[in-house]
Amino acid sequence: MSGILCSAWLVKRFGTRNVILVTMSCALIGMMILSLALWLTSPLLFAVGLGVFGASFGSAEVAINVEGAAVEREMNKTVLPMMHGFYSLGTLAGAGVGMALTAFGVPATVHILLAALVGIAPIYIAIQAIPDGTGKNAADGTQHGEKGVPFYRDIQLLLIGVVVLAMAFAEGSANDWLPLLMVDGHGFSPTSGSLIYAGFTLGMTVGRFTGGWFIDRYSRVAVVRASALMGALGIGLIILSIAPGSQECLLYLGTRCLAGLPSDHFCRQRYRPRCTDPRQRGSNDRLSGFPRRAAAAGLSRRTLWIT
């Protein structure tokens, strides 16, 4: 949360390119600290690693979304869901590798270290394609733009935030707790838990890659309603079902994760004059941060019930 809350100032001060480069580099360092902490069995060092990784990745998430929104605005086409799809594709690949390493008995220390090392090359190659200056002093341009009520008094904008918050509760809870819930709650093996999580990320990947087409064809409101219902069905099945094979419901939960995207698009288009400020573009990340931390506090199944 600290990284997310600082991200607006960082983007306005240094631009998205510099923020992404520095924060993602620090996130990799945080992963290496985590690997070392596991090897030394040091809870204090592990907490430090989590803090470095969380703060860095939180800021990077917002900066990446600001850059993606700028690309979409330049293209004048719905492409951000596809960009999010590549994020989910990476998560799916990570879940697959994690399942394989777990099956072969590779310790978490080695796994985390390998993940950090693998992430170095893509970051430093991809950063070359990001232009310098995006997001810098964004608020200055809004001083002479459309005038209206402050964003915290705009009921429509706040309601959009509530929708995003609800969707983020489900996604955040699943990201943090699905493997543990399946292993401890439903009796699956650790490898099966990773496989089930891979099914969830597969649903997210498909939903996000196809999200732009559904949004353009059926409207954002229709997609939000349909995918929210799918998400509610998936969550209910996950909590209540005890039969083997019930993990198929995770696909419904995963595909519903595209529901947060049309609300984000609606926010940017409906409030485009004001959404040049990265503080407002990053609102989705701030809202999604709370439920994930709530789940981390030990609310796993109760958090799913709340959503």
Domain range summary for the chain, segments of one domain joined by +: 2-131+149-306
CATH class in words for 2-131+149-306 = mainly alpha
Res. 266: pLDDT tops 70: no
Give the pLDDT confidence score for residue 32 in this predicted structure. Answer: 94
pLDDT band, residue 35 (cuts 50/70/90): very high
Q: What is the DSSP string of the chain?
A: -HHHHHHHHHHHHH-HHHHHHHHHHHHHHHHHHHHHHHHHT-HHHHHHHHHHHHHHHHHHHHHHHHHHHHHHHHHTS--HHHHHHHHHHHHHHHHHHHHHHHHTT--HHHHHHHHHHHTHHHHHHHGGGSPTTTTTTHHHHHTTS---S-GGG-HHHHHHHHHHHHHHHHHHHHHHHHHHIIIIIT---HHHHHHHHHHHHHHHHHHHHHHHHHHHHH-HHHHHHHHHHHHHHHHHHHHH--STTGGGHHHHHHHGGGGHHHHHHHHHHHTTTTTTSHHHHTHHHHHHHHHHHHIIIIIHHHHHHH-
Which comes out higher in pLDDT, residue 51 or 212?
A: 51
Which comes out higher in pLDDT, residue 132 or 55?
A: 55
For the entire predicted model, the pTM comes to 0.68
pLDDT per residue over 218-257, tens digit each? 887 888 888 888 877 777 777 776 444 455 455 555 555 5
Query: What average pLDDT does range 104-114 have in this prediction?
Result: 89
